[in-house]
Copies of this chain bind each other. A is one copy, B any other.
């Protein structure tokens, strides 16, 4: 067995290579033989040295563990005298050692051997440096950010900064300390108490009319709600159920008699309430719910019933413990006539909290998240409420049972009533963004300090330096900023329309489509990103104390409630089809198709090879180019969806079957639409920025959002001819490049989200450093 002798010291420059040849453990015997042949061929080396080297590389006589260990000690002792810069590769290392006197021919031989060892050899050189001591592992200074995060936060806070700051201040109090892993009964009590504190602050009333103790400022209400959702999503949902859904339904579906009687108490939480729409058997298809409200002329009251088990009210927030009064959606029946779904105020508990006669209340039990909210079930057995309890803004029943409505069309009436739900969807989009901001703030900060693996002889590197990690987090940060711009615009329009107390029907439909699309898109983004954040924090991300996993579990159901995402996206697609039909003054599908054909081909002519192959960075980061591509996609998909529908119906398919058959197309169209809309709003926001550093980073994020969206759909761009392979590859490369460019700003970008430091996880930082 080969032993290290004093003669071997002359071989010092080669020893790193020798060590790696063995320690790597990957070289096959014939590979070792080749190394020996290489050395034999180097006749400029001293023959005795050559022989000794060959002996070290004899596959028939490998060194013992102890000999290799001593060899390593020898090399390390020599290497530790070298400056770190000279330790980059095995050959450089050898050469540096050689400078202290070495056999001739060393440089050439070293180069060839290193070449021969190839990739694997270089990898293994790590151990040759002196062992990196933890204390020694001095992190390089954090990369310098290119802008002031306070300015970014000021943008996001916008006109409601004061409201947000007030809520942040509240949430930073010790009594709002983040709770986790406690029994649900306790958690529910904590959340109710939190909601009471906020109600006492007047936060719940912000959106209600002044005459009922509010500020009549829906925008302020939504800003407060959005801020709450950075903290605890159970709190946000409990708050949203009470002040958004319950009080909101009384305000929007009721009339003055209801407002006077209930709004003030709803706003202070003196009257906890429910919004009882969903049933066990009908979630998405609200029109076919089964709860019945029959008008009884004799007593001038409605009799509310749960005719069968599938009709029980399900998932009703505030129902299991706290609710006293519920807005109950039921089929209105007068005599033999069924007038469709209407909303009724039904007391469900008395002042002592006991269920009212005829009302049965159940608890939905433990959920995957949001266990601070008391979701419950309701059954009604001949529950009588006075005629005045019909929320009668859009339809009324006179004492004699005659039915009147300002909206003749029952379908339009139904969708108008349901349209009041748009506020819920606006809120959920905002809450989902808050959750994802919190999650990204934790994951990015962690990734910037958590180190694992590293280059040969160097300190371990922050995991945010890894491309795969950048790719998981930075496009998500960019998408979050882009979605924020769109949600802000949605909120602005919603608040403006709501305070006008009446928008025209086209505006209302547009707003509904906008809200439905964003809700589906943003909640999908939130759930997927929070999952990525969880995984990016490794095991630490799985501990509830570090918040990410809890946020993820809580936000999960956002994809389902306030409208299942798949259903909402179909609604968006159908609305796009309808809008085009109306916009182009003809309801003949064929003329719509001709029109679509013209528009798409007009754009297509611009798609000459110079454009479809253009892989230039400036071109790809140009907002107009990105907008053109996303608009082109949306139009093409709209045209092809319409054509496919028409073919099927011309072939005699039922419209339901036709829509089902093209469902994947419709979903694709809807996502393409939302991404185009988001890009427009985030581009608009970018153009209003006066600080050049902030504008630059907004521009990089806008481009990253747009290119990452395209990257997910590159197959379509290639198939449609909008891109050729050089361009699609360039999109991918640009996503890499932009993620890398944003990396030094990553922490500043999540600081810009404005999550109070107290709400971020402290323990995870320990996981990183220590």
Q: Would A543 and B122 be within 8 Å (CB), given that A338-B131, A585-B30 are in contact?
A: no
Q: Would A402 and B559 be within 8 Å (CB), given that A25-B411, A366-B544, A581-B118 are in contact?
A: no
Q: Which of A3-11, A239-247, A659-667, A746-754 contacts B (4 or more CB under 8 A)?
A: A659-667
The reply to whether B308 and A538 form a contact with Cβ atoms under 8 Å apart is no
Chain A 421-457: CB-based contact to B (< 8 A → 1; otherwise 0):
0000000000000000000000000000000111110
Q: Does A117 contact B (CB under 8 A)?
A: yes
Closest to A646 in B: B119
Which residues of B lie under 8 Å from residue A736 when comparing CB positions?
A: 664
- Which of B65, B118, B415 touches A587 (beta carbons < 8 Å)? B118
The reply to whether B410 and A68 form a contact with Cβ atoms under 8 Å apart is yes
The reply to whether A452 and B282 form a contact with Cβ atoms under 8 Å apart is yes
The reply to whether B25 and A415 form a contact with Cβ atoms under 8 Å apart is yes
Q: Does A601 contact B (CB under 8 A)?
A: no
A residues 538-582 near B (Cβ < 8 Å) are 538-539, 541-545, 549-550, 552-553, 556-557, 559-561, 564-566, 577-578, 581-582
The reply to whether B587 and A770 form a contact with Cβ atoms under 8 Å apart is no
Q: Does A201 contact B (CB under 8 A)?
A: no
Which residues of B lie under 8 Å from residue A452 when comparing CB positions?
A: 282-285
Closest to A731 in B: B715
The reply to whether B122 and A649 form a contact with Cβ atoms under 8 Å apart is yes
Q: Does A151 contact B (CB under 8 A)?
A: no
Chain A 114-126: CB-based contact to B (< 8 A → 1; otherwise 0):
0111111011110
Closest to A281 in B: B770
A residues 583-607 near B (Cβ < 8 Å) are 585, 587-589
Chain A 122-143: CB-based contact to B (< 8 A → 1; otherwise 0):
1111010001101000000000
Q: Does A381 contact B (CB under 8 A)?
A: no
- Which of B24, B88, B553, B585 touches A553 (beta carbons < 8 Å)? B553
Q: Does A301 contact B (CB under 8 A)?
A: no
Least distance between A148 CB and chain B CB atoms (Å) = 30
The reply to whether B315 and A409 form a contact with Cβ atoms under 8 Å apart is no
The reply to whether A466 and B663 form a contact with Cβ atoms under 8 Å apart is yes
Q: Which of A176-184, A230-238, A346-354, A680-688 contacts B (4 or more CB under 8 A)?
A: A176-184
The reply to whether A466 and B578 form a contact with Cβ atoms under 8 Å apart is no
Least distance between A340 CB and chain B CB atoms (Å) = 9
The reply to whether A663 and B364 form a contact with Cβ atoms under 8 Å apart is no
The reply to whether A587 and B367 form a contact with Cβ atoms under 8 Å apart is no
Q: Does A74 contact B (CB under 8 A)?
A: no
The reply to whether A657 and B455 form a contact with Cβ atoms under 8 Å apart is yes
- Which of B311, B368, B410 touches A552 (beta carbons < 8 Å)? B368
Please give the number of chain A residues whose Cβ is less than 8 angstroms from any Cβ of chain B in the complex: 151
Q: Would A409 and B290 be within 8 Å (CB), given that A184-B181, A282-B452, A566-B468 are in contact?
A: no
Which residues of B lie under 8 Å from residue A402 when comparing CB positions?
A: 66
Q: Does A471 contact B (CB under 8 A)?
A: yes
The reply to whether B280 and A655 form a contact with Cβ atoms under 8 Å apart is no
Which residues of B lie under 8 Å from residue A559 when comparing CB positions?
A: 535
Q: Does A28 contact B (CB under 8 A)?
A: yes
Which residues of B lie under 8 Å from residue A720 when comparing CB positions?
A: 725
The reply to whether A308 and B544 form a contact with Cβ atoms under 8 Å apart is no
The reply to whether A65 and B367 form a contact with Cβ atoms under 8 Å apart is no
The reply to whether A119 and B655 form a contact with Cβ atoms under 8 Å apart is yes
Q: Does A104 contact B (CB under 8 A)?
A: no
A744 to B88, CA, bound (A): 62
Q: Does A766 contact B (CB under 8 A)?
A: yes
A129 to B98, CA, bound (A): 94
The reply to whether A366 and B180 form a contact with Cβ atoms under 8 Å apart is yes
Least distance between A27 CB and chain B CB atoms (Å) = 8
Least distance between A60 CB and chain B CB atoms (Å) = 13
Least distance between A443 CB and chain B CB atoms (Å) = 13
- Which of B30, B67, B89, B718 touches A719 (beta carbons < 8 Å)? B718
Least distance between A342 CB and chain B CB atoms (Å) = 12
Q: Does A492 contact B (CB under 8 A)?
A: no
Q: Does A73 contact B (CB under 8 A)?
A: yes
The reply to whether A663 and B62 form a contact with Cβ atoms under 8 Å apart is no
Least distance between A305 CB and chain B CB atoms (Å) = 13
The reply to whether A543 and B89 form a contact with Cβ atoms under 8 Å apart is no
The reply to whether A119 and B589 form a contact with Cβ atoms under 8 Å apart is yes
Least distance between A393 CB and chain B CB atoms (Å) = 14
Closest to A557 in B: B542
A395 to B122, CA, bound (A): 26
Q: Does A460 contact B (CB under 8 A)?
A: yes
Which residues of B lie under 8 Å from residue A369 when comparing CB positions?
A: 542
Least distance between A115 CB and chain B CB atoms (Å) = 7
Which residues of B lie under 8 Å from residue A366 when comparing CB positions?
A: 180-181, 543-545
The reply to whether A280 and B767 form a contact with Cβ atoms under 8 Å apart is yes
Q: Would A409 and B181 be within 8 Å (CB), given that A284-B453, A308-B134, A539-B314 are in contact?
A: no
A403 to B200, CA, bound (A): 72
Q: Does A762 contact B (CB under 8 A)?
A: no
Closest to A506 in B: B28
Chain A 365-377: CB-based contact to B (< 8 A → 1; otherwise 0):
1111100000000
Chain A 618-660: CB-based contact to B (< 8 A → 1; otherwise 0):
0000000000000000000000000001100100001111011
Q: Does A672 contact B (CB under 8 A)?
A: no
Which residues of B lie under 8 Å from residue A337 when comparing CB positions?
A: 69, 73
Chain A 1-41: CB-based contact to B (< 8 A → 1; otherwise 0):
00000000000000000000011111110110010000000
In this complex, the member of A67, A458, A471, A534 whose beta carbon has the largest number of chain B beta carbons within 10 angstroms is: A534
A541 to B661, CA, bound (A): 26
Least distance between A179 CB and chain B CB atoms (Å) = 11
Least distance between A543 CB and chain B CB atoms (Å) = 6
Which residues of B lie under 8 Å from residue A407 when comparing CB positions?
A: 25, 65
The reply to whether A68 and B309 form a contact with Cβ atoms under 8 Å apart is no
Which residues of B lie under 8 Å from residue A552 when comparing CB positions?
A: 368
The reply to whether A582 and B28 form a contact with Cβ atoms under 8 Å apart is yes
A365 to B753, CA, bound (A): 29
Q: Does A170 contact B (CB under 8 A)?
A: no
Least distance between A367 CB and chain B CB atoms (Å) = 5
Which residues of B lie under 8 Å from residue A714 when comparing CB positions?
A: 715, 718-719
Q: Does A318 contact B (CB under 8 A)?
A: no
Closest to A769 in B: B310
Q: Does A728 contact B (CB under 8 A)?
A: yes
A660 to B118, CA, bound (A): 17
Q: Does A729 contact B (CB under 8 A)?
A: yes
19 contacts between A and B (CB under 8 A): A23-B412, A25-B411, A28-B582, A65-B404, A116-B588, A117-B587, A122-B655, A125-B655, A134-B281, A181-B366, A183-B183, A366-B543, A453-B656, A466-B660, A468-B566, A468-B663, A471-B664, A718-B718, A718-B719
Nearest 5 interchain pairs by C-beta: A25-B412, A181-B366, A368-B549, A714-B715, A455-B656
Given contacts A68-B408, A456-B654, A664-B736, 5 further A-B pairs with CB under 8 A are A31-B582, A123-B656, A467-B660, A714-B718, A720-B725
